[in-house]
Structure 1
Amino acid sequence: MSVVKLLCCLLLTYHLCEGKKIKGSRAAPPDARQRGRTRGGPDVGPDLGPGGTAFRLLLDGEDTCTLDPPRLHALASCGFNASNPLIIITHGWSVDGMMESWVLRLATALKKNLAGVNVVIADWLSLAHQHYPIAAQSTRTVGQDVAQLLRALQKQLQYPVRKAHLVGYSLGAHICGFAGSFLEGPEKIGRITGLDPAGPLFEGMSATDRLSPDDAEFVDAIHTFTHERMGLSVGIKQAVAHYDFYPNGGDFQPGCDLQNIYEHIAQYGLLGFEQTVKCAHERSVHLFIDSLLNRDKQIMAFRCRDNSAFDKGVCLDCHKNRCNTLGYNINRVRTGTGQKLYLKTRPRMPYKLFHYQFRIQFINQTEGMEPSLTISLTGTKEESGDLRITFPEKISINKTYTFLITLDKDLGELMLLKFQWEGSALWRNVWTRVQTIIPWGGRKGKPQLTVGRISVKAGETQERTSFCAMENDVQRVDMSEDKVFVRCKDNTARQHRRKHRG
């Protein structure tokens, strides 16, 4: 994992250093007839905006129709429908000057899965294929081009900009922000989605110099590669939206380690290594595409102070808009302050995982023990299988511990919990020696845990289930014993009352 991060940061550092010679001077607009190359995307047409941006409306398949902001009267022949929403996709920095394959994939997913939508690709490859500082500096110019297109639609077709949704990846996210800030008048862009907005030269900048919540009526961002190396973070760490999502903490993503390079080579051929390097950064795009392709597997995220608190399982609460849906189908609820939301995902599509909060109270046992617990949950739909619970510290008497459990399947209504205390190696050795010396000691001398309240809360449904021991011997657990707990008798009544109150 560290090797991939290092390679990616070295590549970025190289371009930052190479660009120092010209940093601070505005790059001249490229020849208006310059043609960019494509990789798995639509052909680049010759008509560019003043800032070097070409806008192409997606038709069927890979066919596109070039939009010329000064002459939008011909839009009808392109199939543009002024009654439908408009989505503009903006790519990021380009190392090789070729359109990334995800651009067409996202555009196609939007076109096929949304009824009646205009999908436009903003191509600024001529500026994006520069050293990173030049490309970063050009984001304002490209943002002006996007704003010019929206103004032309507004003026010539009376198209309301609130029906526009800008989706930008990496540097493209900040381009979308600048487009929003360049629009004058009371009406704002309806929505901007930032897909892992670029970090270098934008981290720590004021709201006017990057994507910010002020740039549209609603702004959401997905952060997937914020791990810092050599003082650099590929994706921006700070919150830049009304809702900022941090999948798996936001710093790195499962399935993007160096050991996954063989899988990437099998899928992408010779481009597999490159895909491994940019895997975490580009994961933001594929999470957004996933929300379109797998409508029955929408990913939930939960507001939390930070990822450390989320990993402890203390943040699975949806009360007062504390949770939301990741991706296209987000619930556009505006709150007074920005929201930082966390979630876990699978390493590949569909990315959805189900979040469960496991809470257990220890009442009476030897102070300072380090138990190793294994639990399994049985629901009306599925069984979880064995789940190891690791304690971050030695357990204390009369203290409740909370853990986050994630599963790739919905268990349904929880009915049964099986619990096993394996004990530490030291305790097992001590007890084995005691039994050898005093074989008649029996259960009385055997190490035991006495547990109090045990509950499991499903984050996606917000249902909390309390579990009680089947026997009437209090909730004691012997070492290496399988103990079965069932739903407490008063659990159903409590859930019924909670539903009626909610």
Structure 2
Amino acid sequence: MNVSFSLFTRETGNTSERVFFNDTFTIKNSHFSPWRKTRFVIHGYTSTGKYGWVVDMCLLMVEVENINCIAVDWEDGAKCTYFTAASNIRVLGAVIAYFLNTLRKMYLYCPSNVHLIGHSLGAHTAGEAGRRLRGITKTFPGIGRITGLDPAGIGFEGFPDMVRLDPSDAKFVDVIHSNAGQFPNIGFGVLNAVGDLDFYPNGGMVMPGCNNAQPEHDHEDFIRETPMAGNCHHSRSHEYYLYSILYPNGFLGYPCKSYESFQEGNCFPCPIGGCPMMGHYADRFRYKVKKNTKYYLNTGAMEPFTSWRYKISVKLSGNARGLINIIFHDKDEYTNEYQIQRGSLKQGQSYSKVTDLDIHPDNATKVEFIWHKQFLTAVWDKLGAKKVTLIRGQDGHKSFFCGNGTVKYGVLQTLRVC
């Protein structure tokens, strides 16, 4: 399979050092430090670890934290048929476990300082390595953390724990589901929870900003016609993880019984213990995990994919029939409009909606109210936002904006903090 390991540290800058799992000389003469945490990044089917997202992730992580980051490349074993590649992860998992055992012997390096990040088949590779190192001795417990980025579902969904990623493979296992398959649609990822903390952004199957069509083929046609590395929905998981390093609060997961319930606003705001952050900082929530709980969130459709969940309540001045919206502007002149209510609107009534904002209200340069006419809207009707209340999903914090008077439909009303 020609497995290779490329080490990135702050000392190596934008380049890397090649280290060999079976050659201690290359490790000793590298910038690997046993005093730092080590993160491995493992690609999936048809992908590579020589360039692209794997390298980008390592470069970003060593920029924001002083760690060893190792990009794992097994391209030769990943670009064959899918089921051959799926079999190859057993060998790859054994190689990674051997490498970690070598570090243990050389430096007494504890596997609990290791974080394996794997996408697709790479997620199950991480699980295989973790299973092999599970409590090797009382002094050296198993791997500290595994992050599964849309773990491959075909050939793994519903199979026993020992052949796929599961919570026992590390002290903490977090998972992002971005392309789970559910009949009649087929996805590349697993649908069932396979970690201690399972996140289902946008429901976990279809991601905004991608082609929303999910194919309805048999598994063999699906694998043959759509390479995993190029599947937008499947790849979103590692893109979300990358941006979570920079914007941790932009990816909060809300505990909820289903995505449908989450969409209805039934799981708002976060519970007293808080909501976990999907992605890089998920382990900050490791001791608050509730068993058999799934975490949901919505993301933006464009980079950096961040989203902040708020409950917006608008108390009206005036009576009319129409649609009421709130508009947020940011410093980059990006604007987005969010609908709160439609229909018959009454003086003094408050209308509320839980919504996901891709502009953080704290960073908004301007907030406006606007309403639009509907059928039977009278030409003389006017409406205004007397008071707008924003309740932050993260902690229930409230902020208030007020407007003066009323405006005709299509006319902007600027709101001020009050």
Fold agreement, TM-score > 0.5: yes
TM-aligned CA distance change 1:55 to 1:408, over 3 Å:
same
Task: Report how far residue 166 of structure 1 moved.
Answer: 0.3
1:211 pairs, out of 156, 159, 165, with 165
TM-score (norm 2): 0.76
TM-score (norm 1): 0.65
Task: Report how far residue 308 of structure 1 moved.
Answer: 1.7
Task: Report how far residue 413 of structure 1 moved.
Answer: 10
TM-aligned CA distance change 1:418 to 1:254, over 3 Å:
same
Query: Is residue 237 of structure 2 the alignment partner of residue 284 of structure 1?
Result: yes
Q: Residue 197 of structure 1 corresponds to which residue in structure 2?
A: 151
Query: Alignment partner of 1:154: what SS?
Result: helix
Query: Alignment partner of 2:7: what SS?
Result: strand
Q: Residue 318 of structure 1 corresponds to which residue in structure 2?
A: 270
CA contact under 8 A between 1:226 and 1:233: conserved in structure 2?
A: yes
TM-aligned CA distance change 1:222 to 1:360, over 3 Å:
same
TM-aligned CA distance change 1:122 to 1:241, over 3 Å:
same
Q: Residue 173 of structure 1 corresponds to which residue in structure 2?
A: 123
- Report the more deviating stretch, 206-215 or 161-170: 206-215
CA contact under 8 A between 1:62 and 1:104: conserved in structure 2?
A: no
CA contact under 8 A between 1:376 and 1:384: conserved in structure 2?
A: no
1:66 pairs, out of 16, 19, 22, with 19
1:232 pairs, out of 183, 186, 197, with 186
Q: Residue 220 of structure 2 corresponds to which residue in structure 1?
A: none
Query: Alignment partner of 1:162: what SS?
Result: helix
Query: Alignment partner of 2:36: what SS?
Result: coil
CA contact under 8 A between 1:257 and 1:276: conserved in structure 2?
A: no
Matched to 1:464, the amino acid is: K
Higher helix share: 1
Matched to 1:83, the amino acid is: W
Q: Residue 463 of structure 1 corresponds to which residue in structure 2?
A: 397
Q: Residue 79 of structure 1 corresponds to which residue in structure 2?
A: 31
Greater Rg by CA = 1
Q: How does 1:261-272 map to 2 (within 5 A)?
A: none
Task: Report how far residue 234 of structure 1 moved.
Answer: 0.8
Task: Report how far residue 244 of structure 1 moved.
Answer: 1.6
CA contact under 8 A between 1:203 and 1:236: conserved in structure 2?
A: yes
Q: Residue 389 of structure 1 corresponds to which residue in structure 2?
A: 340
CA contact under 8 A between 1:311 and 1:403: conserved in structure 2?
A: no
Q: Residue 59 of structure 2 corresponds to which residue in structure 1?
A: 108
Matched to 1:376, the amino acid is: I
Query: Is residue 303 of structure 2 the alignment partner of residue 349 of structure 1?
Result: yes
Q: Please, which runs of 5 or more residues in structure 1 have no aligned partner?
A: 1-29, 31-47, 260-272, 433-442, 472-476, 493-502
Aligned residues: 390
Task: Report how far residue 158 of structure 1 moved.
Answer: 0.5
1:160 pairs, out of 86, 110, 117, with 110
TM-aligned CA distance change 1:390 to 1:185, over 3 Å:
farther
TM-aligned CA distance change 1:242 to 1:469, over 3 Å:
same
TM-aligned CA distance change 1:112 to 1:487, over 3 Å:
closer
Matched to 2:278, the amino acid is: L
Matched to 1:314, the amino acid is: N
Task: Report how far residue 222 of structure 1 moved.
Answer: 1.3
CA distance, structure 1, for counterparts of residue 407 and residue 250 of structure 2:
41
Matched to 1:160, the amino acid is: C
Q: Residue 248 of structure 1 corresponds to which residue in structure 2?
A: 202
CA distance, structure 2, for counterparts of residue 114 and residue 411 of structure 1:
28
Task: Report how far residue 84 of structure 1 moved.
Answer: 0.7
CA distance, structure 1, for counterparts of residue 158 and residue 313 of structure 2:
38
CA contact under 8 A between 1:356 and 1:459: conserved in structure 2?
A: yes
CA contact under 8 A between 2:250 and 2:308: conserved in structure 1?
A: no
Give me the identity figure in percent: 26
Which digits, 9 at most, give the CA deviation of each residue in 1:174-214, with x for residues without a partner? 11111111113451211111111111111222333311121
TM-aligned CA distance change 1:470 to 1:192, over 3 Å:
same
